[in-house]
Structure 1
Amino acid sequence: EFPRIEAAGALLPMPPAVRLCHTMLAAGLSSAPAVTVLLRAALREPLMNVADDALELRLLKMIELLVRVDFLHTQEQVPRDVSEYLAIVRDLRFYDRELRRDTALSYQLSFFLRKHGFPSKRHMLGPYALKVCDPEERINFEPVEDRPFRAGMVELPTARKKRHLEAVGWRSIEVRSKTWAELETYEAKAAHIRGLLKEHELLSL
């Protein structure tokens, strides 16, 4: 309800304002007036006071990407101060500690891809940690772990990540842990990787 958000906006500190704005956009609610009120509440806190690995910065990065990619009409309607704030957020460095935390899948995927000449680098793209990618060619191999998500989500986080990467010019190739676990030998894993590289025209025949 916008009147309630507007009334609360002047009183909200930065963390809850950012969380509320992110929750609203992630649920597909993109009212430009509400986004404006919440981000104006957030911008009262100087970004220099926000750590580069803070949850609030990750959420701001996601808000910026959601507005830029999913809600162009909202982007066109927000006032200049909010637009400039989002531009600053876009340029800020954000570091997700998960970038350096390998799972068995991400570690093995990186290993087998390197064996086939893929650089398998780590890279931050907006709010997203890419553990197995080629930043120069904008190619990401996404290790998708089997995990439950809460019911009723508008879009699964893995699907949103893939869509966002593709929207900003990346190719994102998913490798699911269930599929990987079924490849029981070194040779089977190597053949699977080679098949993926050929399928996506990343390996010379």
Structure 2
Amino acid sequence: MTGSSLFPDTIVRLIAGVDEAGRGPLAGPVAVSAVILDDARPIAGLNDSKQLSQAKREALFPLIQERALAWQVIFVEPEEIDRLNILQATMEGMRRAIAALQPLPELVRIDGNRAPKGLNCIAETLVGGDAIEPAIMAASILAKVSRDRMMVQLHASFPQYGFDVHKGYPTPAHLAALAQHGPCAHHRQSFAPVRRALIRS
């Protein structure tokens, strides 16, 4: 379903927001987060993670973890992305994140226009939901910060690619590093620029 809820929020109490970070990069995992906020413990300053500074995201990250009723962050690694494709890998990450929530939600609101199949609860899709639904905003922040931190960790092992700066996205610097060094184990081999670099190497 897209748009308004099947049930008013006064009836459906446990609502999870779901969002991802990292569908577009050439390297690293896609991160998917699911969050059930607690109405009794509001969090000021929530917004789409892309509209927030890194400092603001980092400040909100522990507040969400502390005040949410439940939260999960799931990483789907490059080899699974290559096997499933990025869309299906993202859907699988959503399934895992939602299933891992305790308590389980009665309704999930997912940013975008696609929802995973096989959920044990009602699902809504909300295009632009990360600017509308606070739980999706919270999920977008957890996913973005978690993935950025992971890419900084990968940079320590593979400094030649500059993962700490571009986080795996296909920037000119990243493409130049791919051309010079070839891909590493954390690159997504099914993505065209990585495939081309593999052929050249």
Please give the TM-score of this superposition, normalised by the length of structure 1: 0.29
Whichever structure has more helix as a proportion of its residues is 1
Higher relative contact order (CA 8 A, sep 6+): 2
- Between structure 1 and structure 2, the one with the greater Rg is 1
